[in-house]
Amino acid sequence: MSRLSPAVARTVAVLNFFADHPGQAFTLTDIVSSLKISRATCHALLAALVEAGYLYRSNSKTYLLGSALARLAEAARGSLSPLQVAAPEMRALADEFDVIVAAIFLEKDEAVVRERASSVSHLGWSIFPGTRIPLRPPFGSVFVAWSSDAEVDAWVDRALPPPSDDERRKMRESIEFVRRWGFQIALRKVHVMNEGHAQSLVYRTDQTDYLVSELDPQREYNLGSVSAPVFDPRGKIAFVIGVMGFIRPMKGSEVQHVGRRVREVCDRVTNFIGGRIP
């Protein structure tokens, strides 16, 4: 990626500074001190931004965000959709790993597929937008991994049949895995023979191990899915991007690579929509 020119970088730094402190006004000295820009350069930048309407200079010689930036923000809010940003990223993942990729949102007690992308070999898969999956443990730990202990406990309590103490421990260990790696993996308990067989196993909790708490780079795994979260500006999960449809055993190092790629995509979407990664 090409680097910003010094002049552009300084302008961006000034705008980002004000965006990080909404509703606050700052003097020239405040900005020079915070951004380590020379006083003369900073004064020229502020004057230009005031003239363009991106900043406003008060009678007390302080600066705050101007009306032109407010109009830009309104336009961005009106046209920006997280799925519009995620769709091309999902398409790239589907083609790269020959899989199906879904954007999954949480609605009450259900995980709902809102968007999907498929590689050519998976076009017949039935996971279409609108598909709903009950969010019941052990499925869905990625949705609660960054929640409070009380919320995690409430999620665990929804498991049917009620989990034993050992199962509760495994659920918590799997959540720690998600927090540590930034993604969740689910493993097939049986060897997948072909695309049709893989599709028949989707969301079959009795045939899927969601309680993964370790990953050996040298060991082979029957990978079922990899999921990672996109965060909103409050640091809450906006939605999850899930990758599924793997039909061959994969080494732990390969699974890590897939997980990192999915997490990178989610981080980019998070940053683009102004989200905050906890």
What pLDDT is recorded for position 206? Answer: 64
> Within 10 A of 129 (CB to CB), how many other CB atoms are there?
12
Contacts of 223 (CB under 8 A, 6+ apart): 185, 186, 187, 188, 246, 249, 250, 255, 258
Cα–Cα distance between 271 and 259 in angstroms, integer? Answer: 18
Residue that wins the pLDDT comparison between 136 and 107: 107
Question: What is the three-class DSSP state of 81?
Answer: coil
What pLDDT is recorded for position 205? Answer: 57
The string of pLDDT tens digits covering residues 60-119 is 899 988 888 777 777 666 556 788 889 899 999 999 998 889 999 999 888 899 988 888
Residue 1, pLDDT above cutoff 50: no
Residue 126, pLDDT above cutoff 60: no
DSSP for 128-192 reads -TT-EEE--TTTTHHHHTTS-HHHHHHHHHT-SSPPPHHHHHHHHHHHHHHHHHSSEEEEESS--
CB 61 within 8 A of CB 28: yes
What pLDDT is recorded for position 39? Answer: 94
The string of pLDDT tens digits covering residues 180-213 is 999 999 998 766 655 655 555 555 556 677 889 9
List the one residue out of 98, 108, 113, 176 whose CA is nearest residue 136. Answer: 108
Cα–Cα distance between 35 and 56 in angstroms, integer? Answer: 19
Cα–Cα distance between 160 and 199 in angstroms, integer? Answer: 24
What pLDDT is recorded for position 158? Answer: 86
Q: What is the pTM of this model?
A: 0.70
Cα–Cα distance between 241 and 101 in angstroms, integer? Answer: 7
The one-letter code for the residue type at 64 is L
Residue 17, pLDDT above cutoff 80: yes
Residue 236, pLDDT above cutoff 80: yes
What value does the mean pLDDT take over residues 1-21?
A: 80
What value does the mean pLDDT take over residues 22-44?
A: 91
Phi, psi of 275, rounded to the nearest 5 degrees: -75, 170
What value does the mean pLDDT take over residues 42-71?
A: 89
The string of pLDDT tens digits covering residues 242-271 is 998 888 899 999 999 999 999 999 999 999
Reading the block at residue 107, the tokens are: 């609605």
The one-letter code for the residue type at 101 is V
